[in-house]
Protein backbone atom coordinates (compact mmCIF):
# COMPACT_ATOMS: atom_id res chain seq x y z
CA UNK A 1 0.00 0.00 0.00
CA UNK A 2 1.36 3.40 -1.00
CA UNK A 3 1.51 6.23 1.52
CA UNK A 4 -0.48 8.50 -0.80
CA UNK A 5 -2.59 7.63 -3.84
CA UNK A 6 -4.55 9.94 -6.12
CA UNK A 7 -6.89 8.16 -8.46
CA UNK A 8 -8.70 9.88 -11.32
CA UNK A 9 -9.00 13.13 -9.39
CA UNK A 10 -11.03 15.91 -11.02
CA UNK A 11 -10.89 19.33 -9.36
CA UNK A 12 -12.54 22.56 -10.44
CA UNK A 13 -12.33 26.25 -9.56
CA UNK A 14 -15.87 27.30 -10.31
CA UNK A 15 -16.41 26.09 -13.87
CA UNK A 16 -12.68 25.83 -14.65
CA UNK A 17 -11.70 22.18 -14.87
CA UNK A 18 -8.16 22.17 -13.41
CA UNK A 19 -7.31 18.56 -12.51
CA UNK A 20 -8.57 16.34 -15.31
CA UNK A 21 -8.05 12.84 -14.02
CA UNK A 22 -4.92 13.11 -11.89
CA UNK A 23 -3.29 9.81 -10.94
CA UNK A 24 -0.18 9.51 -8.81
CA UNK A 25 1.29 7.52 -5.97
CA UNK A 26 3.86 8.37 -3.34
CA UNK A 27 5.71 5.66 -1.44
CA UNK A 28 6.89 6.06 2.13
CA UNK A 29 10.31 7.70 2.42
CA UNK A 30 10.59 9.07 -1.10
CA UNK A 31 10.62 12.58 -2.49
CA UNK A 32 8.32 13.03 -5.47
CA UNK A 33 8.54 16.15 -7.64
CA UNK A 34 5.57 17.56 -9.55
CA UNK A 35 6.87 19.56 -12.50
CA UNK A 36 5.23 21.41 -15.34
CA UNK A 37 4.51 24.87 -16.65
CA UNK A 38 2.59 27.49 -14.68
CA UNK A 39 -1.13 26.81 -14.37
CA UNK A 40 -1.09 23.10 -15.23
CA UNK A 41 -2.46 22.03 -11.82
CA UNK A 42 0.56 21.38 -9.59
CA UNK A 43 -0.57 23.59 -6.70
CA UNK A 44 -4.16 22.42 -7.18
CA UNK A 45 -2.93 18.85 -6.74
CA UNK A 46 -1.53 19.77 -3.32
CA UNK A 47 -4.71 21.65 -2.43
CA UNK A 48 -6.78 18.65 -3.51
CA UNK A 49 -4.74 16.32 -1.29
CA UNK A 50 -5.42 18.63 1.69
CA UNK A 51 -9.08 19.03 0.60
CA UNK A 52 -8.59 22.79 0.60
CA UNK A 53 -10.05 22.62 -2.88
CA UNK A 54 -12.07 19.45 -2.67
CA UNK A 55 -12.12 17.24 -5.79
CA UNK A 56 -15.51 16.78 -7.46
CA UNK A 57 -14.68 13.18 -8.27
CA UNK A 58 -11.92 10.61 -7.85
CA UNK A 59 -10.21 9.63 -4.63
CA UNK A 60 -7.30 10.76 -2.49
CA UNK A 61 -6.08 8.00 -0.16
CA UNK A 62 -3.54 8.36 2.64
CA UNK A 63 -2.36 5.07 4.14
CA UNK A 64 -5.30 3.48 2.37
CA UNK A 65 -7.90 5.77 3.97
CA UNK A 66 -10.01 7.88 1.65
CA UNK A 67 -9.57 11.57 2.49
CA UNK A 68 -12.06 12.82 -0.08
CA UNK A 69 -14.69 15.07 1.46
CA UNK A 70 -13.03 15.22 4.89
CA UNK A 71 -12.49 18.66 6.43
CA UNK A 72 -8.97 19.99 5.90
CA UNK A 73 -8.11 20.07 9.62
CA UNK A 74 -8.85 16.34 9.87
CA UNK A 75 -6.69 15.63 6.82
CA UNK A 76 -3.83 17.64 8.36
CA UNK A 77 -4.32 15.83 11.67
CA UNK A 78 -3.55 12.52 9.97
CA UNK A 79 0.03 13.71 9.54
CA UNK A 80 0.12 15.81 6.39
CA UNK A 81 2.05 19.09 6.55
CA UNK A 82 1.97 21.91 4.01
CA UNK A 83 4.56 24.49 3.04
CA UNK A 84 2.52 26.80 0.80
CA UNK A 85 3.75 28.68 -2.24
CA UNK A 86 4.09 32.10 -0.67
CA UNK A 87 5.00 30.75 2.80
CA UNK A 88 1.92 32.30 4.40
CA UNK A 89 3.47 33.07 7.76
CA UNK A 90 1.32 34.47 10.52
CA UNK A 91 3.23 37.73 10.28
CA UNK A 92 2.06 39.24 13.57
CA UNK A 93 2.85 36.09 15.55
CA UNK A 94 6.34 35.34 16.80
CA UNK A 95 8.42 32.47 15.44
CA UNK A 96 7.55 30.43 18.53
CA UNK A 97 3.85 31.19 18.18
CA UNK A 98 3.90 30.19 14.50
CA UNK A 99 5.27 26.81 15.55
CA UNK A 100 2.87 26.54 18.49
CA UNK A 101 -0.14 26.89 16.17
CA UNK A 102 1.09 23.85 14.24
CA UNK A 103 1.65 21.61 17.29
CA UNK A 104 -1.25 19.41 18.30
CA UNK A 105 -2.68 20.51 21.69
CA UNK A 106 -2.23 16.95 22.99
CA UNK A 107 1.50 16.91 22.23
CA UNK A 108 4.23 18.21 24.49
CA UNK A 109 5.32 21.53 23.00
CA UNK A 110 8.90 22.07 24.21
CA UNK A 111 10.62 18.94 22.79
CA UNK A 112 8.97 19.38 19.39
CA UNK A 113 9.78 23.08 19.26
CA UNK A 114 13.38 22.51 20.37
CA UNK A 115 13.75 19.83 17.69
CA UNK A 116 12.88 22.48 15.09
CA UNK A 117 15.30 24.95 16.66
CA UNK A 118 18.05 22.33 16.44
CA UNK A 119 17.25 21.78 12.78
CA UNK A 120 16.98 25.51 12.01
CA UNK A 121 19.28 27.41 14.42
CA UNK A 122 18.33 30.78 12.89
CA UNK A 123 14.78 30.27 14.10
CA UNK A 124 16.02 29.75 17.66
CA UNK A 125 17.87 33.07 17.52
CA UNK A 126 14.74 34.90 16.38
CA UNK A 127 12.19 32.94 18.39
CA UNK A 128 10.64 36.08 19.91
CA UNK A 129 10.62 37.99 16.63
CA UNK A 130 7.40 38.52 14.66
CA UNK A 131 7.49 36.44 11.49
CA UNK A 132 6.87 39.46 9.24
CA UNK A 133 10.25 40.82 10.36
CA UNK A 134 12.20 37.74 9.21
CA UNK A 135 14.09 37.60 5.93
CA UNK A 136 12.65 35.60 3.03
CA UNK A 137 15.00 32.69 3.71
CA UNK A 138 14.20 32.66 7.42
CA UNK A 139 10.50 32.74 6.63
CA UNK A 140 10.95 29.76 4.30
CA UNK A 141 12.77 27.86 7.08
CA UNK A 142 9.91 28.68 9.44
CA UNK A 143 7.36 27.52 6.85
CA UNK A 144 9.20 24.21 6.54
CA UNK A 145 9.53 23.85 10.33
CA UNK A 146 5.82 24.59 10.71
CA UNK A 147 5.06 21.96 8.09
CA UNK A 148 6.98 19.16 9.76
CA UNK A 149 6.66 19.95 13.48
CA UNK A 150 4.62 17.36 15.29
CA UNK A 151 6.03 14.44 13.30
CA UNK A 152 4.05 14.84 10.12
CA UNK A 153 4.58 11.83 7.86
CA UNK A 154 4.04 13.61 4.57
CA UNK A 155 5.16 17.12 3.67
CA UNK A 156 3.66 18.96 0.71
CA UNK A 157 6.12 21.65 -0.38
CA UNK A 158 5.06 24.26 -2.92
CA UNK A 159 7.72 26.33 -4.74
CA UNK A 160 10.22 26.55 -1.86
CA UNK A 161 12.83 28.44 -3.91
CA UNK A 162 10.47 31.08 -5.27
CA UNK A 163 11.67 34.64 -4.73
CA UNK A 164 14.82 33.66 -2.84
CA UNK A 165 18.42 34.63 -3.59
CA UNK A 166 20.61 31.77 -4.92
CA UNK A 167 22.61 31.53 -1.70
CA UNK A 168 19.43 31.27 0.36
CA UNK A 169 18.03 28.69 -2.08
CA UNK A 170 21.05 26.51 -1.31
CA UNK A 171 20.30 26.71 2.41
CA UNK A 172 16.64 25.86 1.81
CA UNK A 173 17.62 22.90 -0.37
CA UNK A 174 19.96 21.61 2.34
CA UNK A 175 17.18 21.97 4.90
CA UNK A 176 14.74 20.07 2.69
CA UNK A 177 17.33 17.38 2.03
CA UNK A 178 17.75 16.90 5.76
CA UNK A 179 13.99 16.85 6.33
CA UNK A 180 13.59 14.28 3.53
CA UNK A 181 15.68 11.75 5.45
CA UNK A 182 12.79 11.37 7.88
CA UNK A 183 9.74 12.70 6.05
CA UNK A 184 8.12 11.70 2.78
CA UNK A 185 7.77 14.69 0.51
CA UNK A 186 5.80 15.90 -2.49
CA UNK A 187 7.63 18.82 -4.02
CA UNK A 188 6.24 21.35 -6.49
CA UNK A 189 9.14 23.28 -7.99
CA UNK A 190 9.63 25.45 -11.08
CA UNK A 191 13.39 25.24 -10.75
CA UNK A 192 13.90 22.04 -12.77
CA UNK A 193 17.52 21.19 -11.77
CA UNK A 194 16.64 21.78 -8.12
CA UNK A 195 13.59 19.51 -8.34
CA UNK A 196 15.61 16.75 -10.04
CA UNK A 197 18.36 17.13 -7.45
CA UNK A 198 16.03 16.70 -4.48
CA UNK A 199 13.50 14.19 -5.79
CA UNK A 200 13.66 10.43 -6.29
CA UNK A 201 10.84 10.39 -8.83
CA UNK A 202 8.96 12.97 -10.86
CA UNK A 203 5.54 13.47 -12.39
CA UNK A 204 5.36 15.80 -15.36
CA UNK A 205 1.95 17.47 -15.42
CA UNK A 206 0.17 19.13 -18.30
CA UNK A 207 -3.46 20.28 -18.48
CA UNK A 208 -4.28 18.75 -15.11
CA UNK A 209 -3.07 15.26 -15.84
CA UNK A 210 0.20 13.29 -15.67
CA UNK A 211 1.92 13.08 -19.04
CA UNK A 212 5.27 11.60 -17.99
CA UNK A 213 6.67 10.04 -14.84
CA UNK A 214 9.66 8.09 -13.66
CA UNK A 215 12.86 8.22 -11.63
CA UNK A 216 14.72 11.51 -11.69
CA UNK A 217 18.11 9.88 -12.08
CA UNK A 218 19.65 10.85 -15.38
CA UNK A 219 16.81 13.19 -16.36
CA UNK A 220 18.04 16.57 -17.58
CA UNK A 221 16.38 19.70 -18.89
CA UNK A 222 17.63 18.71 -22.36
CA UNK A 223 15.47 15.59 -22.33
CA UNK A 224 13.09 15.78 -25.30
CA UNK A 225 10.05 14.74 -23.17
CA UNK A 226 10.81 17.44 -20.66
CA UNK A 227 11.50 20.09 -23.31
CA UNK A 228 8.15 19.42 -24.97
CA UNK A 229 6.15 20.18 -21.83
CA UNK A 230 8.29 22.69 -19.98
CA UNK A 231 9.04 25.02 -22.86
CA UNK A 232 6.89 28.11 -22.62
CA UNK B 1 -21.82 85.73 16.02
CA UNK B 2 -23.89 83.12 14.15
CA UNK B 3 -23.83 79.44 14.99
CA UNK B 4 -23.28 77.77 11.57
CA UNK B 5 -25.45 74.78 12.47
CA UNK B 6 -28.43 76.42 14.09
CA UNK B 7 -28.09 79.92 12.56
CA UNK B 8 -28.83 81.18 16.05
CA UNK B 9 -27.00 84.15 17.46
CA UNK B 10 -24.22 83.17 19.86
CA UNK B 11 -23.61 85.49 22.75
CA UNK B 12 -19.91 86.57 22.55
CA UNK B 13 -19.43 87.17 26.31
CA UNK B 14 -21.02 83.75 26.98
CA UNK B 15 -18.61 82.17 24.48
CA UNK B 16 -15.64 83.76 26.20
CA UNK B 17 -16.96 82.61 29.56
CA UNK B 18 -17.45 79.07 28.27
CA UNK B 19 -13.97 78.95 26.81
CA UNK B 20 -12.40 80.17 30.02
CA UNK B 21 -14.34 77.49 31.90
CA UNK B 22 -13.18 74.85 29.44
CA UNK B 23 -9.53 75.56 30.19
CA UNK B 24 -10.04 75.25 33.93
CA UNK B 25 -8.44 72.07 35.28
CA UNK B 26 -11.65 70.69 36.79
CA UNK B 27 -13.50 71.05 33.48
CA UNK B 28 -10.73 69.37 31.53
CA UNK B 29 -10.54 66.59 34.12
CA UNK B 30 -14.30 66.16 33.96
CA UNK B 31 -14.34 65.93 30.14
CA UNK B 32 -11.43 63.51 30.19
CA UNK B 33 -12.80 61.20 32.89
CA UNK B 34 -16.31 61.15 31.44
CA UNK B 35 -14.74 60.54 28.04
CA UNK B 36 -12.70 57.63 29.34
CA UNK B 37 -15.83 56.21 30.99
CA UNK B 38 -17.69 56.36 27.69
CA UNK B 39 -14.60 54.98 25.93
CA UNK B 40 -14.58 51.98 28.26
CA UNK B 41 -18.15 51.08 27.29
CA UNK B 42 -17.56 51.70 23.58
CA UNK B 43 -14.48 49.49 23.78
CA UNK B 44 -16.38 46.63 25.43
CA UNK B 45 -18.94 46.76 22.63
CA UNK B 46 -16.58 47.38 19.71
CA UNK B 47 -13.98 44.75 20.61
CA UNK B 48 -16.49 41.99 19.85
CA UNK B 49 -17.25 43.53 16.48
CA UNK B 50 -13.58 43.80 15.54
CA UNK B 51 -12.79 40.24 16.68
CA UNK B 52 -15.62 38.87 14.56
CA UNK B 53 -14.48 40.84 11.53
CA UNK B 54 -10.79 40.11 12.11
CA UNK B 55 -11.23 36.35 12.25
CA UNK B 56 -14.30 35.73 10.16
CA UNK B 57 -14.36 38.70 7.80
CA UNK B 58 -17.98 39.30 8.77
CA UNK B 59 -19.39 42.77 9.33
CA UNK B 60 -21.97 41.97 11.98
CA UNK B 61 -24.85 44.40 11.64
CA UNK B 62 -26.72 42.69 14.50
CA UNK B 63 -24.07 43.81 16.99
CA UNK B 64 -26.02 46.84 18.24
CA UNK B 65 -29.11 44.67 18.74
CA UNK B 66 -27.12 42.37 21.04
CA UNK B 67 -26.17 45.41 23.15
CA UNK B 68 -29.86 46.40 23.21
CA UNK B 69 -30.87 42.89 24.33
CA UNK B 70 -28.19 43.01 27.04
CA UNK B 71 -29.49 46.36 28.28
CA UNK B 72 -33.08 45.09 28.46
CA UNK B 73 -32.25 41.73 30.08
CA UNK B 74 -30.05 43.56 32.58
CA UNK B 75 -32.85 46.07 33.22
CA UNK B 76 -35.49 43.36 33.74
CA UNK B 77 -33.37 41.49 36.29
CA UNK B 78 -32.41 44.66 38.15
CA UNK B 79 -35.95 46.08 38.25
CA UNK B 80 -37.53 42.77 39.31
CA UNK B 81 -34.91 41.86 41.90
CA UNK B 82 -34.40 45.23 43.55
CA UNK B 83 -36.71 47.29 45.70
CA UNK B 84 -36.41 50.96 46.56
CA UNK B 85 -34.96 49.88 49.91
CA UNK B 86 -32.11 47.92 48.31
CA UNK B 87 -28.74 49.27 49.36
CA UNK B 88 -25.78 50.27 47.21
CA UNK B 89 -23.87 47.05 47.92
CA UNK B 90 -26.85 44.92 46.84
CA UNK B 91 -27.22 46.95 43.65
CA UNK B 92 -23.54 46.64 42.74
CA UNK B 93 -23.46 42.92 43.60
CA UNK B 94 -26.57 42.27 41.52
CA UNK B 95 -25.12 44.30 38.64
CA UNK B 96 -22.03 42.06 38.61
CA UNK B 97 -24.25 38.96 38.64
CA UNK B 98 -26.30 40.47 35.80
CA UNK B 99 -23.12 41.08 33.77
CA UNK B 100 -22.14 37.42 34.23
CA UNK B 101 -25.62 36.09 33.43
CA UNK B 102 -26.06 38.31 30.36
CA UNK B 103 -22.59 37.41 29.11
CA UNK B 104 -23.28 33.67 29.50
CA UNK B 105 -26.74 33.87 27.91
CA UNK B 106 -25.76 36.00 24.94
CA UNK B 107 -22.50 34.12 24.33
CA UNK B 108 -24.54 30.93 24.07
CA UNK B 109 -27.14 32.63 21.87
CA UNK B 110 -24.44 34.12 19.63
CA UNK B 111 -22.76 30.75 19.25
CA UNK B 112 -26.07 29.14 18.28
CA UNK B 113 -26.75 31.96 15.82
CA UNK B 114 -23.35 31.45 14.20
CA UNK B 115 -23.88 27.70 13.82
CA UNK B 116 -27.46 27.86 12.54
CA UNK B 117 -27.58 31.05 10.48
CA UNK B 118 -24.13 32.49 9.73
CA UNK B 119 -22.18 29.29 8.99
CA UNK B 120 -24.34 28.28 6.00
CA UNK B 121 -23.53 31.56 4.21
CA UNK B 122 -19.75 31.75 4.68
CA UNK B 123 -19.23 30.87 1.04
CA UNK B 124 -21.63 33.56 -0.18
CA UNK B 125 -20.75 37.15 -0.99
CA UNK B 126 -20.47 39.68 1.91
CA UNK B 127 -23.85 41.11 0.89
CA UNK B 128 -25.55 37.94 2.22
CA UNK B 129 -23.81 38.35 5.58
CA UNK B 130 -24.76 42.03 5.78
CA UNK B 131 -28.39 41.34 4.90
CA UNK B 132 -28.61 38.40 7.30
CA UNK B 133 -27.09 40.18 10.30
CA UNK B 134 -28.95 43.42 9.59
CA UNK B 135 -32.18 41.40 9.38
CA UNK B 136 -31.43 39.68 12.70
CA UNK B 137 -30.85 43.12 14.25
CA UNK B 138 -34.18 44.45 12.97
CA UNK B 139 -36.04 41.35 14.15
CA UNK B 140 -34.54 41.69 17.64
CA UNK B 141 -35.39 45.40 17.69
CA UNK B 142 -39.01 44.81 16.72
CA UNK B 143 -39.33 41.91 19.17
CA UNK B 144 -37.99 44.16 21.93
CA UNK B 145 -40.43 46.90 20.90
CA UNK B 146 -43.39 44.47 21.02
CA UNK B 147 -42.36 42.91 24.34
CA UNK B 148 -41.62 46.11 26.26
CA UNK B 149 -44.74 47.84 24.86
CA UNK B 150 -46.88 44.90 25.97
CA UNK B 151 -45.50 45.41 29.50
CA UNK B 152 -46.48 49.07 29.49
CA UNK B 153 -42.92 50.35 29.03
CA UNK B 154 -42.11 53.03 26.47
CA UNK B 155 -39.64 51.48 23.97
CA UNK B 156 -38.08 54.90 23.48
CA UNK B 157 -36.47 57.16 24.46
CA UNK B 158 -35.32 55.11 27.48
CA UNK B 159 -36.64 52.84 30.19
CA UNK B 160 -36.11 55.12 33.16
CA UNK B 161 -37.01 52.50 35.81
CA UNK B 162 -34.01 50.42 34.75
CA UNK B 163 -31.74 53.46 34.76
CA UNK B 164 -32.97 54.27 38.27
CA UNK B 165 -31.56 51.01 39.65
CA UNK B 166 -28.11 52.63 39.75
CA UNK B 167 -26.94 53.22 43.34
CA UNK B 168 -26.86 56.81 44.50
CA UNK B 169 -23.08 57.00 44.83
CA UNK B 170 -22.71 56.18 41.13
CA UNK B 171 -25.50 58.39 39.80
CA UNK B 172 -24.25 61.41 41.71
CA UNK B 173 -20.83 63.08 42.02
CA UNK B 174 -18.08 60.70 43.08
CA UNK B 175 -16.48 61.35 46.48
CA UNK B 176 -13.31 59.62 45.26
CA UNK B 177 -12.98 61.90 42.23
CA UNK B 178 -13.86 64.91 44.32
CA UNK B 179 -11.11 64.19 46.84
CA UNK B 180 -8.56 63.26 44.16
CA UNK B 181 -9.18 65.94 41.55
CA UNK B 182 -11.59 68.32 43.23
CA UNK B 183 -14.14 67.78 40.49
CA UNK B 184 -17.79 66.77 40.56
CA UNK B 185 -18.14 63.84 38.16
CA UNK B 186 -20.68 61.03 38.20
CA UNK B 187 -19.24 57.99 39.97
CA UNK B 188 -20.67 55.87 37.16
CA UNK B 189 -17.89 56.96 34.80
CA UNK B 190 -15.19 55.91 37.28
CA UNK B 191 -17.04 52.60 37.68
CA UNK B 192 -17.13 52.21 33.87
CA UNK B 193 -13.40 52.96 33.55
CA UNK B 194 -12.46 50.35 36.17
CA UNK B 195 -14.85 47.74 34.72
CA UNK B 196 -13.77 48.46 31.14
CA UNK B 197 -10.10 48.14 32.12
CA UNK B 198 -10.75 44.78 33.80
CA UNK B 199 -12.62 43.49 30.74
CA UNK B 200 -9.97 44.83 28.35
CA UNK B 201 -7.23 43.03 30.31
CA UNK B 202 -9.34 39.86 30.36
CA UNK B 203 -9.82 39.96 26.57
CA UNK B 204 -6.13 40.76 26.06
CA UNK B 205 -5.04 37.85 28.25
CA UNK B 206 -7.46 35.52 26.45
CA UNK B 207 -5.99 36.52 23.10
CA UNK B 208 -2.33 36.43 24.13
CA UNK B 209 -2.13 33.75 26.82
CA UNK B 210 -4.50 30.99 25.72
CA UNK B 211 -4.23 28.48 22.93
CA UNK B 212 -7.59 29.51 21.49
CA UNK B 213 -6.49 33.13 21.61
CA UNK B 214 -3.43 32.11 19.59
CA UNK B 215 -5.62 30.32 17.04
CA UNK B 216 -7.86 33.38 16.81
CA UNK B 217 -4.90 35.70 16.21
CA UNK B 218 -3.47 33.33 13.61
CA UNK B 219 -6.90 32.89 12.03
CA UNK B 220 -7.31 36.67 11.77
CA UNK B 221 -4.36 36.62 9.39
CA UNK B 222 -5.01 33.44 7.44
CA UNK B 223 -7.86 31.12 8.45
CA UNK B 224 -7.16 28.68 5.61
CA UNK B 225 -3.56 28.21 6.78
CA UNK B 226 -4.77 27.60 10.34
CA UNK B 227 -7.16 24.93 9.03
CA UNK B 228 -4.30 23.34 7.06
CA UNK B 229 -2.32 23.08 10.30
CA UNK B 230 -4.98 20.81 11.79
CA UNK B 231 -7.16 23.30 13.66
CA UNK B 232 -10.91 23.33 13.26
CA UNK B 233 -11.35 26.99 12.35
CA UNK B 234 -15.12 26.67 12.43
CA UNK B 235 -14.95 26.06 16.19
CA UNK B 236 -12.86 29.21 16.58
CA UNK B 237 -15.47 31.08 14.48
CA UNK B 238 -18.26 29.89 16.77
CA UNK B 239 -16.32 30.85 19.92
CA UNK B 240 -15.44 34.30 18.60
CA UNK B 241 -18.95 35.06 17.37
CA UNK B 242 -20.33 33.93 20.73
CA UNK B 243 -17.78 36.01 22.68
CA UNK B 244 -18.42 39.03 20.47
CA UNK B 245 -22.15 38.74 21.10
CA UNK B 246 -21.60 38.31 24.85
CA UNK B 247 -19.31 41.35 25.05
CA UNK B 248 -21.76 43.52 23.10
CA UNK B 249 -24.49 42.50 25.55
CA UNK B 250 -22.24 43.29 28.54
CA UNK B 251 -21.65 46.72 27.00
CA UNK B 252 -25.44 47.03 26.81
CA UNK B 253 -25.73 46.29 30.54
CA UNK B 254 -23.34 49.20 31.22
CA UNK B 255 -25.33 51.45 28.87
CA UNK B 256 -28.40 50.64 30.98
CA UNK B 257 -26.89 52.77 33.77
CA UNK B 258 -25.29 55.38 31.51
CA UNK B 259 -27.24 58.65 31.93
CA UNK B 260 -26.85 59.53 28.24
CA UNK B 261 -28.04 56.14 26.94
CA UNK B 262 -30.30 53.79 28.96
CA UNK B 263 -32.31 50.76 27.75
CA UNK B 264 -34.10 51.62 24.52
CA UNK B 265 -34.83 49.98 21.18
CA UNK B 266 -32.84 52.81 19.61
CA UNK B 267 -29.68 51.19 21.00
CA UNK B 268 -29.78 48.75 18.06
CA UNK B 269 -28.76 51.29 15.44
CA UNK B 270 -27.20 53.98 17.66
CA UNK B 271 -24.76 51.59 19.31
CA UNK B 272 -24.03 49.87 16.01
CA UNK B 273 -22.97 53.19 14.47
CA UNK B 274 -20.69 54.09 17.39
CA UNK B 275 -19.16 50.61 17.37
CA UNK B 276 -18.50 50.76 13.62
CA UNK B 277 -16.90 54.18 13.92
CA UNK B 278 -14.59 52.91 16.68
CA UNK B 279 -13.67 49.78 14.74
CA UNK B 280 -13.04 51.61 11.46
CA UNK B 281 -10.97 54.40 13.06
CA UNK B 282 -8.93 51.84 15.01
CA UNK B 283 -8.43 49.49 12.08
CA UNK B 284 -10.61 46.45 11.40
CA UNK B 285 -9.43 43.47 13.42
CA UNK B 286 -7.04 45.37 15.68
CA UNK B 287 -7.27 45.11 19.50
CA UNK B 288 -4.91 48.05 20.08
CA UNK B 289 -6.65 50.14 17.43
CA UNK B 290 -10.05 49.50 19.00
CA UNK B 291 -8.73 50.61 22.39
CA UNK B 292 -7.20 53.84 21.05
CA UNK B 293 -10.18 54.66 18.83
CA UNK B 294 -12.62 54.06 21.71
CA UNK B 295 -10.69 56.65 23.75
CA UNK B 296 -10.75 59.14 20.86
CA UNK B 297 -14.48 58.66 20.27
CA UNK B 298 -15.29 58.64 23.99
CA UNK B 299 -13.42 61.88 24.71
CA UNK B 300 -14.84 63.56 21.57
CA UNK B 301 -18.32 62.48 22.68
CA UNK B 302 -17.72 63.83 26.18
CA UNK B 303 -16.32 67.14 24.89
CA UNK B 304 -19.15 67.79 22.46
CA UNK B 305 -21.75 66.78 25.03
CA UNK B 306 -20.18 69.35 27.38
CA UNK B 307 -20.31 71.98 24.62
CA UNK B 308 -24.03 71.32 24.20
CA UNK B 309 -24.72 71.22 27.92
CA UNK B 310 -22.97 74.54 28.50
CA UNK B 311 -25.07 76.09 25.75
CA UNK B 312 -22.22 77.18 23.50
CA UNK B 313 -23.72 75.05 20.73
CA UNK B 314 -27.46 74.62 20.63
CA UNK B 315 -27.37 71.68 18.21
CA UNK B 316 -28.16 68.48 20.15
CA UNK B 317 -26.74 66.23 17.43
CA UNK B 318 -23.24 67.68 17.81
CA UNK B 319 -21.68 64.52 19.39
CA UNK B 320 -22.91 62.31 16.53
CA UNK B 321 -21.82 64.82 13.86
CA UNK B 322 -18.38 65.16 15.46
CA UNK B 323 -17.88 61.42 15.65
CA UNK B 324 -18.79 60.94 12.00
CA UNK B 325 -16.50 63.81 11.13
CA UNK B 326 -13.71 61.95 12.94
CA UNK B 327 -14.57 58.88 10.88
CA UNK B 328 -14.38 60.83 7.63
CA UNK B 329 -11.04 62.39 8.61
CA UNK B 330 -9.66 58.98 9.59
CA UNK B 331 -10.81 57.46 6.30
CA UNK B 332 -9.17 60.25 4.30
CA UNK B 333 -5.86 60.26 6.20
CA UNK B 334 -5.55 56.55 6.98
CA UNK B 335 -8.22 54.40 5.28
CA UNK B 336 -6.98 51.19 6.91
CA UNK B 337 -7.46 52.73 10.37
CA UNK B 338 -4.93 53.73 13.02
CA UNK B 339 -3.55 50.24 13.59
CA UNK B 340 -5.00 48.48 10.58
CA UNK B 341 -3.03 46.87 7.80
CA UNK B 342 -3.81 46.74 4.09
CA UNK B 343 -5.28 43.27 4.49
CA UNK B 344 -7.18 41.92 7.45
CA UNK B 345 -4.56 41.17 10.06
CA UNK B 346 -4.63 40.11 13.67
CA UNK B 347 -2.38 42.15 15.85
pLDDT tens by residue, B198-209: 999 999 999 999
Dihedral (CA of B185, B189, B190, B191) sign: positive
What chain B residue is nearest to A150 in terms of C-alpha separation? B229
Mean pLDDT of B254-274: 92
**How many residues are listed for chain A in this entry?**
232
Where helices occur in chain B by DSSP H, the ranges are 12-22, 25-56, 63-81, 88-113, 126-150, 160-163, 168-171, 175-181, 187-209, 211-221, 223-228, 233-257, 267-282, 287-309, 318-333
Express as a percent the part of chain A with pLDDT over 70: 99
Residue A57, min C-alpha distance to chain B (Å): 21
Identify which of A92, A69, A83, A85 has the alpha carbon closest to the alpha carbon of residue A120. A83
pLDDT band at B256 (very low <50, low <70, confident <90, very high): very high
Q: What pLDDT does A47 receive? A: 97
Q: Fold for A4-88+139-230, please state it.
A: Rossmann fold (3.40.50)
Q: What pLDDT does A232 receive? A: 54
Residue A114, min C-alpha distance to chain B (Å): 19
Identify which of B231, B276, B282 has the alpha carbon closest to the alpha carbon of residue A90. B231
Q: What pLDDT does B341 receive? A: 64
Q: What pLDDT does B347 receive? A: 43
Q: B17-53: per-residue pLDDT in tens?
A: 777 777 777 788 888 999 999 999 999 999 999 999 8
Chain A partners within 8 Å of B233 (Cβ): 73
Q: What pLDDT does B13 receive? A: 74
CA distance A163 to A43: 17
Q: What is the 3-state secondary structure (H, E, C) of A80-110?
A: EEEECCCCCCCCCCEHHHHHHHHCCCCCCHH
pLDDT band at B294 (very low <50, low <70, confident <90, very high): very high
Chain A partners within 8 Å of B224 (Cβ): 52, 72
Residue B228, min C-alpha distance to chain A (Å): 6
Q: Strand, coil or helix: what is B3?
A: coil
Where in chain A are the domains? 4-88+139-230
ipTM of the complex: 0.93
**How many residues are listed for chain B in this entry?**
347
Chain B partners within 8 Å of A52 (Cβ): 224, 227-228
Q: What pLDDT does B344 receive? A: 41
Does the pLDDT of residue B58 top 90, yes or no?
Answer: no
* Predicted structure pTM score: 0.86
Mean pLDDT of A113-117: 91
Size of interface A-B (CB pairs under 8 A): 62
> Which of B217, B218, B229 best probes binding to A when mutated, by most A CB atoms within 10 angstroms?
B229
Q: B190-232: per-residue pLDDT in tens?
A: 999 999 999 999 999 999 999 999 999 999 899 999 999 999 9
Residue A130, min C-alpha distance to chain B (Å): 10
Please answer yes or no on whether B221 and A50 come within 8 Å at the CB atom. no
Beta bridge partners of A66: A61
Mean pLDDT of A3-7: 97
The CATH code of domain B12-333 reads 1.10.3470
pLDDT band at B326 (very low <50, low <70, confident <90, very high): very high
Amino acid sequence: MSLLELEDVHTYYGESHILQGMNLTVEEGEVVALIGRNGVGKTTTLRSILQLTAPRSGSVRFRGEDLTGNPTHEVADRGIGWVPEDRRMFGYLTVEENLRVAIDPDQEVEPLRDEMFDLFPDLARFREKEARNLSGGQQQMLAIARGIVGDNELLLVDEPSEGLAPLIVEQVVEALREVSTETTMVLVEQNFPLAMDLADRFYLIDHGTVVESGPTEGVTADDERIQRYLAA
Amino acid sequence: MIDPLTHATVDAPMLADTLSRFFQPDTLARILIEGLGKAAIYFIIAIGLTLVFGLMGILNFAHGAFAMVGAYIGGVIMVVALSSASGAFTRIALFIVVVAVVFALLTAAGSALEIKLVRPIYDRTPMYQILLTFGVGLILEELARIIVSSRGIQPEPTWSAAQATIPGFLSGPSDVLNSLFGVNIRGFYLFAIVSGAILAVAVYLFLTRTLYGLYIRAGSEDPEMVEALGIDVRKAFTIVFGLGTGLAAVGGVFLMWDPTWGPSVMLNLDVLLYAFVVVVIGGLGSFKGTLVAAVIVGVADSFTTWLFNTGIVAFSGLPEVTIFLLLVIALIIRPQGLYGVEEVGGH
